[in-house]
Amino acid sequence: MSDETVDETSSTPKAASTRQVVHSSASSLTIGLCLILGGGVVIFLAGVLVAGPLPGGSMILMFLGGTAIVFGVVQLVIGVYQLADNIDRTAQAVLNGQRR
């Protein structure tokens, strides 16, 4: 299903109104959680390697894990915002439907 409508006079698609756009919050939430968990695992493995034979390589792993966690938190915040926006739009549609 497309968010575009077709203008009958020129047959070119025009953008849908902003009230009809629904964000896919599940993908942002999933990506955020996976990045956070993956970054945590990488940092844990880097902590194990500090006691092991590769202390220099663990710093790179800690940096990559920390970066993944930061990006994961940003994606998670975006997903929560999109989910709240979708819930708000659904509540507005239900309220508008009950008024009619």
pLDDT tens track for 63-75: 899 999 999 999 9
> Average pLDDT, whole number, for the chain?
79
| pLDDT band, very low/low/confident/very high, at 58 (cuts 50, 70, 90) | confident
**pLDDT at position 68:** 95
Tell me which DSSP letter residue 23 carries.
Answer: -
Query: Which tokens in the block code for residue 87?
Result: 């819930």
70-to-1, 41, 76 alpha-carbon distances in Å: 34, 14, 10
Tell me the whole-structure pTM to 2 decimals: 0.68
37-to-25, 32, 65, 91 alpha-carbon distances in Å: 18, 9, 9, 32
Average pLDDT over residues 73-94: 91
**pLDDT at position 2:** 46
